[in-house]
Structures are given as structure tokens and as C-alpha cells.
Chains A and B, each alone.
Chain A
């Protein structure tokens, strides 16, 4: 029939979501709010996409400078752009 609402603990999920960490962070910042069980998975997805975009942008910056290594400045510039985009 239907699957369980939680993932079986014995499963070895690759690229696991740090659900506990996310929930704890949310609780620390907004203790009066509650986060749903499936919500933190979507938060994890959001983080992944954010990091993905950030990485793409920094890589583009680094390649623009014809630098083989990603520098702090590249990341900084990329972060500015992406954070603005992810403002919502």
C-alpha cells in the first residue's frame, strides 16, 4: 500500500539531506514557527539550487578572469548577484 511518511533509517541514501540540521536552524531563528516534515526537504532542495547557482556564477567569474582557481572575490561577486536573485 502506501509508503511510510519517513524514510527507513536503514536505507543508505546518497547525498542525504541534513534534515536535523535544517530543522534546528529554523527553530533557532524562528522559534515561534513550525516547520513541516516535508517542508525541510524542500528547504534542502532550495539550498541545493542556491548553492548550484552560486557555484555556476563563481565559476563563470573565475573563468572570466582566466583564473584556474576560484577566488574569494569571485565568490563574493557571485554571492551578491545570487543573493539578490534569491530574495523572494
Chain B
């Protein structure tokens, strides 16, 4: 017994010893766990025919069979009634039967044979692990006998598997002494004899999958880094960074789990990148650092600089201010334009607020890449400049025109659609004029919400029956409602401030 252990002082043997010692004290629930054990055994051994028989036999024979009970304990893989450390350890030991999965056919024969020996085994060992060789012997005898007592087939199956695979038949036959070999736990010891054996089968339940998508990580990361080197350069606005990274937005969205929160590029890049690609972040940082520091391709440098500049401009001015810049400067080069429109489109897809960003990008870019593109700039100063503005304006109108088609609930012609856009344009003109008049009437240069309310009252939208807040509640989403309608909070405070 002791020799056995000393010869194989693996963790498993130690654990098994602990378990056996513990088991001797608490042979509980032989029946219920027995059934469960047999079920689990079945799954491991993959021979279902015996299951029914073993179940019935288990119920009959489960009484007083400590070995069975122990096996049941051990094999309560699916039975989570008791999640003690002991049961977990037992489960660990069970899940790592090296030979159980390998030779399912061999199991069938020795199982009935084993069951013959089972009754003899019953009262045997609680804590003592007998010699491996003697333990191996009973299965062989059982295999030779092949009686039809399938009651403990499941239990024996495993042991036989282990034995067969580990030692081979001749080995088993060498020691026909142990008639009362210990219980199944001892049979599990057989596996301990050859711990080196099937590495492949080891602990399927606990196997940790290696982080497989490594190749993707690196590739996607590199690509992201190429485009997002700008994002890393300035620490600032999440709003700004996506602008510069617009060409790579598609890539970003593909690689990262959330597409919408790409608004904050630099924080999100860092945040989301670590989540799926924990290993790649270091590479990312290294490569980005290289990029930003080293000379790298000229375009990337330009991109970085342009991004920084654009972001600085954005930070200093309002978005519409930068759009004014773009209007006044108006020096888009065709390549920048070409890039700006797809960028713009991607921005629109991401975040409508980013629309003003591409034009400033375009404005900043020429300043940076003046030398190479100066030749291209001169032939078309004006026509290209007005195009992005037109596009963005059109896009905004499109937004409302879509709402029109939604409200109408009827199919529309394309011409009708364009008509709607024209009407919206006219409406905006009227709106701005009215607001200007109202603000001037109040002696202000800033248009306040009160002016808007007055306008709506004059339009007939707000009446004595219908107040502004009612309309706000009806038509605006919650986040805007919270901003518009004053609400009392704790501490005698009202938000928004009146």
C-alpha cells in the first residue's frame, strides 16, 4: 500500500489518498449518488447499452457498498448537490481517467467481468490503496469470466479501461492474487500507475484553451494601429479621435466587439483592445510608439500631424467654427477630398456630430501636405471645397426626409423625396430668420430656449392645452427630455438650472 504511493508520488495519488481517508468516514448517499455516478460513468465510457442495466443494478446493489458509494461520490460530476472541495477533488480525479475514453470497446468485455469481482471487492479497501498489480488482477479475472452481472459495469468499466490501457493484459494476469482488490477507487489507482500515458485525454473538463485568436489579434491590431496611431498621439477628446481614424472605422468595428462606442477612440481602443486581445496590447503599444516616434511612412506622419492639428483645432474651436475655417480656407485637394468624403460618410454612420470634423480635417491636411499636393490644389480651389459642405447639409436634410417617409406611412416617389428636402431647406431658412427676430426683440444675441418656445407658440404647436413639456415628452427620447424638462433632485436642487 505505502509502496504504491511512494512509487507514484503524484498529486493525484496524494489527492486520492486524501479522498480515501476522508471517504472512510463519510460513506453517504450511496444510492442516489450511485445512480448519478453510473450515469456519469456512462457518459465517460460512451457505452449506453449498459446504462439501463447498470442503473437498475445500481439501485439494487448500491446498499452498503462503500466502494460504490465512493465511486458515486467521485463520479458526481453532474450532481452538484455538494460542492465541497472534496467532491471537486474527486471530480478532478475522475475527469482525468487517462484510458477511459481511449478504448471504449475494451470496456464492454471487461465490464461484466469486473462486476463479478465487484461484490468481492465491496467491503474492501476504504483507505488503503493496494498494490497496483493486485488491483489490476481482478479486472483480468473478471474479463475472463464475463458474467452477465452488469450491475457495476459502469464502475468497473473505467477501471478496466485504465488497466487495459495502462498495463496491458499480460500485466494483469501476473497478479491473480487480489480477489478482494480494493474498490473502484483502487481501480482508479491503476491510472496512477501510468501518469505519463495519455496526455491528450488529461482533464478534458479542466483543459484551458490556449488563446487561439492570436493571429487575428496581431493582424487586426497592426491595422488598427496604423490607422489609430493618431488616436494615441493626443490624449484628448474621444470625439476628435474617431475623426482621424475614420478610414479605419470599418476595421475597428470589425475587430472590436462594440461598434457604437467607438466614439471614444483612444480610450476605447485601449479599453476594447485589451478585452479580446489581452496579449496584443503590448505589441500595439510598442508598435504605436514606434510609429509615432520613428519616421515611418510619410503619409502616416502626415496623418498623425494632421490628426493632432485637427484635434487641436477642434479642441480650441467649436465644430461649426472649424467648419467656418474650412469654408474660409477652402483648399481641399482631391485626394484629401476623396478621403474626406468616405471619412465623412463613416463619421455620419458613427456619430452625426462628427460631420464637421472631416472638413476641418480636409482643411488641416492641405496645410500639412502642402508641398506634395500644392500642384493639385491650385486647379480646383472652389468646387471641391463646397462639396463636403453640400454633402453634410444634404445628409442632414436626408435625416429629416427619412423621418418624413416614416411619418407618412405610405410609399413615396423619389421626386417627392427631393421635394421634401427642398421644403426642409425653406423651413430652416424661415426658422433662422424668426429666431433672429425674436432674439433681437429680446435684445439678445443668443437664441435662447424661450425664443424657441415663442416660435412654437406662434406656429400653433403650443397652446393653452398643450404645453412645451408635453411636446417634449411626446417626441424626444429620454435623454433629451432629461435635459430639457426641469426636474427636482435631492438637496433642493433643480436640473436643468432655471
Contact = CB atoms under 8 A, between A and B. Distances in A.
Interface of A: 1-3, 5, 7, 9-36, 38-39, 41-52, 54-56, 58-59, 62, 68-72, 74-76, 79, 82-83, 85-88
A50 to B, nearest CB: 6
Interface in B371-395: 392-393, 395
Interface residues of B, number: 83
12 contacts: A13-B479, A17-B476, A20-B356, A24-B392, A34-B446, A39-B452, A47-B427, A48-B403, A62-B410, A69-B412, A75-B416, A86-B427
B493 interface: yes
Interface string B444-465: 0111110111011011110000
Given A41-B476, A41-B484, A47-B424, 19 more contacts: A1-B491, A7-B483, A14-B477, A21-B352, A33-B435, A35-B447, A36-B446, A38-B496, A44-B480, A46-B452, A47-B400, A47-B427, A48-B475, A50-B427, A71-B415, A72-B413, A72-B415, A79-B419, A82-B423
Contacts of A26: 432, 435, 447
Contact of A18 (B399, B451, B475): B399
A46 B455 contact: yes
Q: Which of B324, B404, B451, B480 has the most CB of A within 10 A?
A: B480
Interface stretch (B28-36, B84-92, B112-120, B259-267): B259-267
Contact of B319 (A15, A24, A35, A38): A24
B412 A11 contact: no
A18 B352 CA distance: 6
Given A34-B446, A46-B455, A79-B419, A21 B410 contact: no
B428 to A, nearest CB: 6
A84 B321 CA distance: 33
Interface in B393-411: 393, 395-396, 399-400, 403-411
B60 interface: no
A44 B424 CA distance: 12
A30 B428 CA distance: 11
B413 A69 contact: yes
B426 interface: yes
Given A50-B427, A52-B407, A7 B479 contact: yes
Nearest to A36: B448
A27 B324 contact: yes
Given A52-B407, A54-B423, A19 B353 contact: yes
Nearest to B258: A10
Residue of A19, A74, A86 most packed against chain B (CB within 10 A) = A86
B293 interface: no
A51 B356 contact: no
Contacts of A35: 446-447
A2 B429 contact: no
Contacts of B407: 51-52, 55-56
Interface in B243-278: 260-261, 263-264
B263 A9 contact: yes
Contacts of A19: 352-353
A13 B496 CA distance: 20
B261 A1 contact: no
A43 B430 CA distance: 12
Contact of B446 (A12, A33, A56, A71): A33
B73 to A, nearest CB: 50
Contact of A72 (B238, B404, B419): B419
Given A48-B403, A79-B423, A5 B496 contact: yes
A68 B472 contact: no
Nearest to A11: B479
A17 to B, nearest CB: 7
6 closest A-B pairs by beta carbon, nearest first, are A55-B407, A21-B396, A2-B495, A42-B452, A27-B320, A20-B353
Contacts of A17: 476, 480
B482 interface: yes
Contacts of A82: 423
B464 to A, nearest CB: 17
A79 B404 CA distance: 12
Contacts of A54: 404, 420, 423
A23 B427 contact: no
A83 B430 contact: yes
Contact of B445 (A21, A34, A51): A34
Contacts of B451: 39
Contacts of A23: 318-320
A16 to B, nearest CB: 6
A25 B392 CA distance: 10
A62 B409 CA distance: 12
Contacts of A9: 238-239, 263-264, 351
B284 to A, nearest CB: 22
Given A7-B483, A25-B396, A49 B496 contact: no
Contact of A32 (B239, B354, B445): B445
Nearest to B412: A70
B163 interface: no
A29 B449 contact: no
